[in-house]
Structure 1
Amino acid sequence: MSQPILKNDVFLRALAREATDYTPVWLMRQAGRYLPEYNATRARAGSFLGLAKNPDYATEVTLQPLDRYPLDAAILFSDILTVPDAMGLGLDFAAGEGPRFARPLRTEADVAALAVPDMAELDYVFAAVAQIRRELHGRVPLIGFSGSPWTLACYMVEGAGSSDYRTVKSMMYSRPDLMHRILSINAEAVAAYLNAQIEAGAQAAMIFDSWGGVLADGLFQQFSLDYTRQVVKKLVRHHDGRQVPVIVFTKGGGLWLEDIAACGCDAVGLDWTVNLGKARAAVGGRVALQGNLDPMALFGGPDAIRAEVVRTLDSYGPGPGHVFNLGHGISQFTPPEAVEVLVQTVHEHSRAQRRQA
């Protein structure tokens, strides 16, 4: 069945570094707990996993921010830990504690038993992608995503989030062979997972290397970026008659901007610690850039939000290749009206930039 004509392709054109009338904007975690309508749907679903694993609910919450704000892209509502969950590690979300795995990878036998999951275990994700595409009716593009091989490995070895990554780094330093095996399997799994999302209808793919920034220089390249590069190399880059751009976001990765830009991706996501103008000069138009407002700026009130949005846009400057976003996921405590100010200011100021250029 043919897909509806895409009515707003500004996001995809910006990733291709083509001229656009304004800077497109979407937000990491734009479907989430800061929206009362999301909380109402989650209550009906009964749990986070009940929400994420039900295509009807996942579609509903994916579309909620688009019904409220004139955003330029939708992102699949899911979780980065779906892949290790399908590997049989026993994912659970305890109230107030975040994700936990019942069977983390701690021993040589654990790692030896690890395997790329059957993608049929993740059919609920691909069903959600297809349903969201249908219900978008071509309004905006849909982004699919996955965690990076390294970020997934952190959760798989630690068994939960961590403040010091002692368990996973201990394995990395003492048994790099085990870590490389985990990462190799993860890279194969992530590539298959993203390709299945693209086949189901995702029009762009994003790799979240949320914990790449905890690694030392040199080790980041060896244990994170090399495996992200393997994923990117295996991705389908043309589907439904269009290019499928790939965005790589490494939180804390500003030090390695040029290395990340050379991994084969179309765009690099930046956290709020990076100067956009300097980043643009460093990559020299080889990739698009995405970012990078501090999510906490949304607590400063309308005038502060407008000022910070303008500062961010002016830092990048006029011209193609920029997608506006936050420098990390939106906080659950963000006032919904703050996002309205952000989106309106991005669209208005970026149009004015182009008129003045």
Structure 2
Amino acid sequence: MDNDRFLRALRRQPVDRTPLWMMRQAGRYLPEYKATRARAGDFMSLCRSPELCCEVTLQPLDRFGLDAAILFSDILTVPDAMGLGLRFVEGEGPVFDRPVRDAHAIEALGVPDPETELRYVMDAVRTIRGALGSRLPLIGFAGSPWTLATYMIEGAGGSDFHTIKRMAYDAPEALDSLLAKLAASVSLYLEAQQRAGADALMIFDTWGGVLSPADYVQFSLEPMARIVEHLKRVAPETPVILFTKNGGQHLEAMAETGCDALGLDWTTDLGSARSRVGTRVALQGNLDPTWLLAQPARIEAAVARVLDSYGKGPGHVFNLGHGILQQTPPEHAAAMIEAVRNLSPAFHA
């Protein structure tokens, strides 16, 4: 790689400055993305076009000069490939026409073949990898089994999760069966992304933080651990990042999965997290995305606090604590990036 800071940081190797990328860095806050999406017609048409996925993946790199690209896709491609009828409703988000509500429906689900049912994603990875060349590493990703199951069972996003939690408490064997099927699907999906050209892999556990500690281990962490085990068997040199939103209390258990890095949201102090996990994993994060609505001078001060919290030495990837907000002025994102570039070298001297 011409720029390998991101990969070196994930391996806790020395770098000259803290590498940076942003969750949802290709998205609705960029006018160029809005123009591409308008050409595509709708969100899933955009996701199913390898050429347009490549175009939007490169847009924030061309604008900001970040240290990693991330595949433009959606976490719900896997359950969509299982035949649940995914739609995106304007103003409401994802909706499944055929949610999974019982053991019979779970039994009927198949494990998608990444190179057939999800070929458009693999073609996007290959297209992006070709366009990037040796310029930057490419991150592939998937949703965690628990997070995917919440959408599949609830039927939509923005839920209080009572339907899936009722299944967890009343029919845990059925939910365990679904999570096992999703763990197998995500394992094959991420393995295929790695073969197609992804240099690092990230598992987004958006909704693991809504579970009690014991339920988190059973329904969220253990399925993710099976995925990490699979990936480390088939692609041991490819770094794997785990991210559980609101999962700060679980960092030690997450580090035990064998992953290479943990993503943190803004509710966990980086310095405290570093002292808890030691040198077992790198840490990624964790500026509150809402800071990017503030004025640039305040953004710079917030960046300084994040860097100072982690402290000196390798093993930190600067990122937001969750996806960048669509209301973010692009020049405010640029101010954050400039602050990281200017301030972080002192932490690696």
Specify the TM-score bucket, using the shorter chain as the normaliser: over 0.9
| DSSP 3-state at the match of 1:218 | helix
Q: Which residue matches 1:161?
A: 157
Distance in 2 (alpha carbons) for counterparts of 1:157 and 1:132? 33
**Conserved in 2, the CA contact under 8 Å of 1:78 and 1:125?**
yes
Q: 1:47 aligns with which of 19, 42, 59?
A: 42
| DSSP 3-state at the match of 1:152 | helix
Q: Deviations over 1:18-46 (max 9, x none)?
A: 01000000000000000000000000000
Q: 2:250 aligns with which of 256, 269, 272?
A: 256
| DSSP 3-state at the match of 2:243 | strand
Distance in 1 (alpha carbons) for counterparts of 2:31 and 2:275? 40
State yes or no: 1:314 paired with 2:308: yes
Return 5+ residue gaps in structure 1 as ranges. Answer: 1-5
Distance in 1 (alpha carbons) for counterparts of 2:158 and 2:165? 11
Distance in 2 (alpha carbons) for counterparts of 1:162 and 1:107? 21
**Conserved in 2, the CA contact under 8 Å of 1:142 and 1:204?**
yes
Distance in 2 (alpha carbons) for counterparts of 1:16 and 1:133? 21
Alignment of 1:62-73 (within 5 A): 62-73=57-68
After TM superposition, the score normalised by the length of structure 1 is: 0.96
Q: 2:221 aligns with which of 211, 222, 225?
A: 225
Aligned length in residues: 348
Alignment of 1:1-357 (within 5 A): 6-119=1-114, 120-236=116-232, 243-355=237-349
Distance in 2 (alpha carbons) for counterparts of 1:100 and 1:29? 20
Distance in 2 (alpha carbons) for counterparts of 1:261 and 1:225? 11
Distance in 1 (alpha carbons) for counterparts of 2:176 and 2:169? 11
Distance in 2 (alpha carbons) for counterparts of 1:52 and 1:237? 29
| DSSP 3-state at the match of 2:7 | helix
**Conserved in 2, the CA contact under 8 Å of 1:238 and 1:244?**
no
| Cα distance, 1:130 vs structure 2 | 0.6
**Conserved in 1, the CA contact under 8 Å of 2:191 and 2:234?**
no
**Conserved in 2, the CA contact under 8 Å of 1:187 and 1:231?**
yes
Identity %: 59
Give the ranges of 4+ consecutive aligned residues of structure 1 lying more than 2 Å apart after TM superposition: 236-239, 352-355
Q: Deviations over 1:109-168 (max 9, x none)?
A: 211212211221100000000110110121110000000010000001001113310111
After TM superposition, the score normalised by the length of structure 2 is: 0.98
Return 5+ residue gaps in structure 2 as ranges. Answer: none
**Conserved in 2, the CA contact under 8 Å of 1:237 and 1:245?**
no
